[in-house]
Chain A
């Protein structure tokens, strides 16, 4: 049963700076060799040693990340299979990109608890732990499927179902021709199949792109910190990234360019942009900075608009909100420097006026977690918590959408070659099966049901 190679992220999602991607199975070394460039080929690397190198896109040779690669030959490994572990320091965006590469090169997304399952089946884990292993599998699966269903709710699931329906419609039209050749159903022509398949591929493509979570993981979410000069944008940036990348001074207009950094909020990769304070200025360099800030706002997924609570909220503050509204961008209002408000009542009044705003003090490190929470909530919309099982589930869904697309592309090329209907049906059904793995539907039953629902067959 166990003969393929699986891969997954094995570090917890969160604030760890390093992600470890684990790959286990007979082809682990082979797959690693396709992507890794170090001093030695992975196949020549000694077992249980670590090597420094780069992961490259095999087509372009472009480097994704610098990594440490650990090779462990069977049987002295966790799963008792060949294991390759890749430690990357790029956070989740990079880890996800690496994982995708592994999937594209022959590994399969690991099921919930699958490493542990293999470890047990291969005799690595003690008999006394068998029940614990079973519990892990079931518990993780239940949890993941709950979250997966949540993720699939709404638009994505609707579109996914529409695509499934389109395939079922097309396929049942073909199948009725195959199973009831003398029934007076219209014969589906190859041209029809071709056109319909093209349409479905387009829809599937859009879905893959908009698979929100996947997109989020692939590209990260862009969050722009905006505000007029000297309200604490750079301080917030540094606080969120826990670095001192942005120069913080008391002098307004210090940040003159857009500064970027990646952070990871509970598994969501976020590209954070610190911008120059927006104000009218005669300084040419600063002017350019302001322009870039406005540009960043129009490109962002989310804007954090910071005010200085100790000062009056004025026209320049308002202009940033207006800009966000104009661009139809979601924003979080954030009142900084609440420590400077001595009058409790004044603060309460401010809070009353702005019920959705966040009140923070960066110097006193107060309320920062509320900002992180808001970003996270925005990203996930509903308050679901996320762990790496969910990420992997998500990776698996995306993987399956892509597989479904590949089968449909084969249908197209087979149409061009004028292959017979039985073969065209075969790949159509395979694509339906891939989608069924996400939604839990059985392709065969669906098609048979559709045949009976759509056509009137009888003796």
Chain B
């Protein structure tokens, strides 16, 4: 039934529970600091969303952080959004989360990426004032009804009979709860490495959480060790901007939140420079001093953000790499040097940086570092983000092996919602791969697991054309409303927008252009085939070369809001492809809806391949669809499961 590891874990749990019973419940010396429905450990991007969702849904919640001055900190790049990540923020917002609103309030530069590459990949990205964002989010937490905000290092998880009971903090104080959500980011046994120096630390000079990892191990939870890194921060005064290429923001600002109206703001620029032969020479000559190559770092780093020394070694033929110099905020002279993440010793870091045009005199304020940390093997979770082995224990964010603020926030929101669903005996919110990037993210983590910090990419989404940033509200706001997180104001805005989209689509279907001289002149102007009979605006829009903006030249154009026009244009222009995707989604949905009862004894299902028996038994997937994505489970195994489910159903009927 259970793997040796699992059995060991079980023994641990039993031992620990006995132990804790004695210590925590019966011992009178322990001080109980409070009793909550939900406790969130960690106030990063995941923790904030989780705590806010839980409190907003009406449950008494506490959020703990090791340092209250680092709430929603951005210890790496000072920006939010980008490809796939921008979509995540939009989805968080559509469900009633906080990140989009906070980003809109604190950005200092905004850009839409991929404008020319098609609506499936338009992505919003903003540079953020890091301190302002952190303070903003801290205040949001502080002002939130039902939410207590506390500074403490959580050292122990208290479980009884496989059920979460509470936590113990560094002072020995106990806090009781029904549900515990761990969002500890990269703090667990954090170890920073800079050249040959290494020390225990959380990110950004904050304290690490050294004890919680052991508590997790004792609960039988399998941990992995990951690594990530961040580049140096330099002082703006030491940069020669005349040698850098300026990268300004977009003239027209598109907000993240569906609630934010027109945004006008003075923006600041980012700057670009390049590495050169000299930079690469310094790195090559000193490669032995990089702990990544001397074997000092064991954690598995992400392939998508290698350090500069990694890039030089792995892509030796590339003569130059882009480097971006980005402001960290308005109230600081610190600048982030994107592209130069490294774990080289400080003397080499300075030499490397000073080879870049414009950075000849760069003064480092914070050196680059690599950080190793513990995270859990995310396949131990179910799709609601609760761990399968302990009742009431949820995980979200980097502790699940993901990377990125947006990925963390998305999981935090879902964990917060599902904590409440569990308390209220309601169905958990499981967004599928066909519903949201959030669904792709969580399904990838839980079903496939990850062996490196997981970053969201649009190419990971099967239904990319449907999972767009512009329709995140159409996909998710109703769900957010049903859950109770979406305010009435947001909801009525959403309904109004959908109505306008319907009206405008209808109008375009009804309006017929005659084959007049004027119309054909218009068509010629835009290199489109002329017409001899009337054509509906709707059909005209289907022509790839006709942009909806052009219609202003010939149509009595209605003054619909921009976001409505955008939606209408995309759904008409890509109608064929969207239909195709919807058919695929329908097939996908059927598989997802075939649920697999928890008590299936996979080991004894005749006809399943041996590998499938083991994997299914280990992971206990929630649906046939999820089962089909587990590596080693073949289409034939799925057929066998189908037959098994059917015969089980019939047997149950016979019993009745």
B533 close to A (CB within 8 Å) = no
Chain A residues closer than 8 Å to B646, beta-carbon distance: 120-121, 130
Q: In the complex, A31→B321 CA distance in Å?
A: 57
| B247: min CB distance to chain A, Å | 9
* A433 and chain B: residue at smallest CB distance: B462
Q: In the complex, A117→B590 CA distance in Å?
A: 17
Chain B residues closer than 8 Å to A133, beta-carbon distance: 643
Interface size of A by Cβ–Cβ distance < 8 Å? 44
Most interface-central of A130, A420, A459 (chain B CB within 10 A): A459
Q: In the complex, A231→B306 CA distance in Å?
A: 76
Determine, out of B51-59, B308-316, B388-396, the stretch whose residues face the partner at the interface: B308-316
* A137 and chain B: residue at smallest CB distance: B639
A345 close to B (CB within 8 Å) = no
Chain A residues closer than 8 Å to B304, beta-carbon distance: 451-452, 457-458
In the complex, are the beta carbons of B594 and A134 less than 8 A apart?
Answer: no
In the complex, are the beta carbons of B577 and A121 less than 8 A apart?
Answer: no
Interface residues as binary, A422-450 with B (CB distance below 8 Å gives 1, 0 otherwise):
11001000000000000000001001100
Q: In the complex, A447→B315 CA distance in Å?
A: 19
In the complex, are the beta carbons of B636 and A138 less than 8 A apart?
Answer: yes
In the complex, are the beta carbons of B642 and A131 less than 8 A apart?
Answer: no
B195 close to A (CB within 8 Å) = no
* B303 and chain A: residue at smallest CB distance: A452
Known contacts A117-B639, A426-B464, A456-B321: A180-B341 contact under CB 8 Å? no
* B117 and chain A: residue at smallest CB distance: A421
In B306-343, the 8 Å CB interface with A consists of: 306-308, 310-311, 314-315, 318, 321-322, 324, 338-339, 341
Chain B residues closer than 8 Å to A184, beta-carbon distance: 321-322
B498 close to A (CB within 8 Å) = no
Partner of A135, one of B120, B121, B311, B607: B607
Known contacts A127-B650, A179-B83: A458-B339 contact under CB 8 Å? yes
* A141 and chain B: residue at smallest CB distance: B636
In the complex, are the beta carbons of A180 and B83 less than 8 A apart?
Answer: yes
B151 close to A (CB within 8 Å) = no
Chain A residues closer than 8 Å to B142, beta-carbon distance: none
B651 close to A (CB within 8 Å) = yes
| B605: min CB distance to chain A, Å | 7
B476 close to A (CB within 8 Å) = no
In A95-140, the 8 Å CB interface with B consists of: 111-114, 117, 120-121, 127, 130-131, 133-135, 137-138
Partner of B464, one of A130, A131, A422: A422
Partner of B117, one of A121, A131, A138, A420: A420
Chain A residues closer than 8 Å to B307, beta-carbon distance: 458
Chain A residues closer than 8 Å to B459, beta-carbon distance: 175, 178-179, 444, 447-448, 451
B606 close to A (CB within 8 Å) = yes
In the complex, are the beta carbons of B305 and A457 less than 8 A apart?
Answer: yes
Partner of B465, one of A130, A131, A422, A456: A422
| B568: min CB distance to chain A, Å | 17
| B233: min CB distance to chain A, Å | 13
A310 close to B (CB within 8 Å) = no
Q: In the complex, A135→B643 CA distance in Å?
A: 10
Most interface-central of A1, A131, A422 (chain B CB within 10 A): A422
In the complex, are the beta carbons of A178 and B544 less than 8 A apart?
Answer: no
In A178-192, the 8 Å CB interface with B consists of: 178-184
B118 close to A (CB within 8 Å) = yes
Interface residues as binary, B69-98 with A (CB distance below 8 Å gives 1, 0 otherwise):
000000011000001100000000000000
Chain A residues closer than 8 Å to B314, beta-carbon distance: 456
| B213: min CB distance to chain A, Å | 26
| B274: min CB distance to chain A, Å | 8
Chain A residues closer than 8 Å to B318, beta-carbon distance: 456
Q: In the complex, A114→B577 CA distance in Å?
A: 30
In the complex, are the beta carbons of A111 and B635 less than 8 A apart?
Answer: yes
Q: In the complex, A422→B574 CA distance in Å?
A: 11
Most interface-central of B338, B635, B651 (chain A CB within 10 A): B635
Partner of B460, one of A113, A419, A448, A459: A448
Q: In the complex, A330→B123 CA distance in Å?
A: 61
Q: In the complex, A180→B116 CA distance in Å?
A: 14
| B336: min CB distance to chain A, Å | 9
B47 close to A (CB within 8 Å) = no
Q: In the complex, A403→B155 CA distance in Å?
A: 57
B495 close to A (CB within 8 Å) = no
B458 close to A (CB within 8 Å) = yes
In the complex, are the beta carbons of A458 and B607 less than 8 A apart?
Answer: no
Known contacts A113-B639, A181-B83: A459-B464 contact under CB 8 Å? no
Known contacts A134-B640, A135-B606, A135-B607: A418-B545 contact under CB 8 Å? yes
* B312 and chain A: residue at smallest CB distance: A456
Q: In the complex, A165→B605 CA distance in Å?
A: 37
A417 close to B (CB within 8 Å) = yes
B618 close to A (CB within 8 Å) = no
Q: In the complex, A142→B634 CA distance in Å?
A: 10
In the complex, are the beta carbons of A422 and B636 less than 8 A apart?
Answer: no
In the complex, are the beta carbons of A178 and B639 less than 8 A apart?
Answer: no
Interface residues as binary, B617-656 with A (CB distance below 8 Å gives 1, 0 otherwise):
0000000000000000011110110111011001100100
B492 close to A (CB within 8 Å) = no
Q: In the complex, A421→B458 CA distance in Å?
A: 13
In B599-616, the 8 Å CB interface with A consists of: 605-609
Chain B residues closer than 8 Å to A51, beta-carbon distance: none
In the complex, are the beta carbons of A426 and B465 less than 8 A apart?
Answer: yes
| A129: min CB distance to chain B, Å | 9
Partner of A420, one of B118, B642, B643: B118
In B86-122, the 8 Å CB interface with A consists of: 113-114, 116-121
In the complex, are the beta carbons of B339 and A422 less than 8 A apart?
Answer: no
In the complex, are the beta carbons of A1 and B83 less than 8 A apart?
Answer: no
* A422 and chain B: residue at smallest CB distance: B118
Q: In the complex, A168→B527 CA distance in Å?
A: 33
Partner of B305, one of A138, A418, A458: A458
In the complex, are the beta carbons of B607 and A137 less than 8 A apart?
Answer: yes
Chain B residues closer than 8 Å to A447, beta-carbon distance: 459
Chain A residues closer than 8 Å to B303, beta-carbon distance: 452
| A73: min CB distance to chain B, Å | 23
In the complex, are the beta carbons of A138 and B607 less than 8 A apart?
Answer: yes
Most interface-central of B304, B322, B338 (chain A CB within 10 A): B304
Q: In the complex, A447→B76 CA distance in Å?
A: 27
B230 close to A (CB within 8 Å) = yes
A177 close to B (CB within 8 Å) = yes
* A113 and chain B: residue at smallest CB distance: B639
Known contacts A1-B591, A134-B605, A448-B460: A418-B544 contact under CB 8 Å? yes
Known contacts A178-B83, A426-B465: A120-B118 contact under CB 8 Å? no
Known contacts A134-B607, A420-B118: A127-B651 contact under CB 8 Å? yes
B401 close to A (CB within 8 Å) = no
Q: In the complex, A134→B465 CA distance in Å?
A: 37
Q: In the complex, A421→B121 CA distance in Å?
A: 9
In the complex, are the beta carbons of B460 and A141 less than 8 A apart?
Answer: no
B140 close to A (CB within 8 Å) = no
Chain A residues closer than 8 Å to B397, beta-carbon distance: none
B457 close to A (CB within 8 Å) = yes
Chain B residues closer than 8 Å to A138, beta-carbon distance: 607-609, 636-637, 640
Q: In the complex, A141→B229 CA distance in Å?
A: 46
Chain A residues closer than 8 Å to B306, beta-carbon distance: 456-458
Additional A-B contact list (14), CB under 8 Å, known A452-B303, A452-B304: A111-B636, A114-B639, A130-B646, A135-B607, A175-B458, A178-B83, A179-B458, A181-B83, A418-B544, A420-B116, A423-B465, A457-B305, A457-B306, A459-B339
Q: 12 A-B contacts, Cβ less than 8 Å apart?
A: A1-B591, A127-B654, A130-B644, A131-B607, A134-B644, A135-B606, A137-B639, A177-B117, A180-B83, A181-B113, A420-B118, A456-B306
Question: 3 shortest A-B CB distances, which residue pairs?
Answer: A134-B607, A420-B118, A422-B118
